[in-house]
């Protein structure tokens, strides 16, 4: 009998998606542990670290700016530098860009409004553990809920993303035509690092686990980590 995947989920003051994330991974039979932001060590045996969505520290200063100074961030950086897999969802994506584990930055939505709805995404690359169960070019339907989801990177950085196959997802309509809800450069909804071990996306796959809730497309996204 194989050992279940062990998932650590980082929790800050203001995090509000940690239990949704926990439920999603436990639905796959994973062992999960919630890690408070003041922890200084990552427990042994963690197969995946998730920085969950929400509003860490109320998004004061800017999204993720205070969270990056939490004690657990040093341990997360060490974990990532040693090849550990990390997933940042929404506010978690913002945190990962703030600490430099992912390139670019997340700015205020172009329309200056909080957006909360299901949105279509096109899978740009499945050459990674996160999206290995999805097809390149496939359109999926995942909830978004953010105020600061406008992904930005300079021209040189964007060229690096393209060259290294680091663009994961784009906002589109149901037919795969660009439909950009927040002003993100090239309609980018998610990226990874060059080593394809650190992943960040604004949409919420943990909220798309059951058709009853509007979509089960999130299942194939998250289960990629189970067979990594």
Residues designated catalytic: 90, 204, 206
The burial class, CB within 10 Å (0-12 / 13-18 / 19+), for 100 is: exposed
Report DSSP state, residue 196. Answer: S
With a CB cutoff of 8 Å and minimum separation 6, the contacts of 168 are 123, 124, 125, 128, 130, 131, 189, 190, 191, 192, 199, 201
Q: What share of the chain is helix, strand, coil (3-state, %, to 5)?
A: 25, 30, 45
Comparing CA positions, the residue from 115, 131, 132 lying closest to residue 191 is 131
């Amino acid at each position: 009998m194989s050992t279940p995947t062990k998932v650590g989920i980082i929790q800050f003051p203001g995090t509000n998606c940690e239990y949704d994330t926990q439920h999603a991974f436990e639905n796959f039979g994973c062992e999960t542990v919630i890690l408070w932001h003041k922890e200084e060590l990552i427990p042994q045996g963690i197969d995946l670290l998730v920085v969950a969505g929400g509003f860490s520290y109320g998004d004061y200063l800017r999204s993720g700016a205070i969270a990056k100074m939490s004690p657990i961030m040093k341990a997360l950086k060490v974990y990532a530098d040693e090849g550990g897999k990390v997933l940042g969802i929404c506010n978690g994506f913002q945190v990962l860009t703030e600490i430099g584990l992912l390139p670019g930055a997340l700015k205020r939505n172009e329309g200056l409004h909080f957006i909360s709805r299901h949105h279509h995404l096109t899978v740009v690359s499945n050459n990674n553990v996160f999206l290995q169960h999805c097809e390149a070019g496939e359109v999926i339907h995942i909830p978004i809920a953010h105020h600061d989801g406008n992904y930005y990177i300079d021209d040189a950085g964007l060229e690096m993303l393209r060259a290294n196959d680091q663009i994961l997802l784009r906002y589109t309509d149901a037919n795969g035509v660009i439909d950009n809800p927040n002003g993100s450069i090239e309609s980018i909804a998610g990226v990874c690092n060059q080593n394809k071990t650190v992943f960040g996306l604004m949409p919420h796959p943990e909220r798309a686990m059951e058709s009853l809730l509007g979509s089960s497309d999130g299942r194939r996204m998250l289960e990629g980590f189970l067979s990594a």
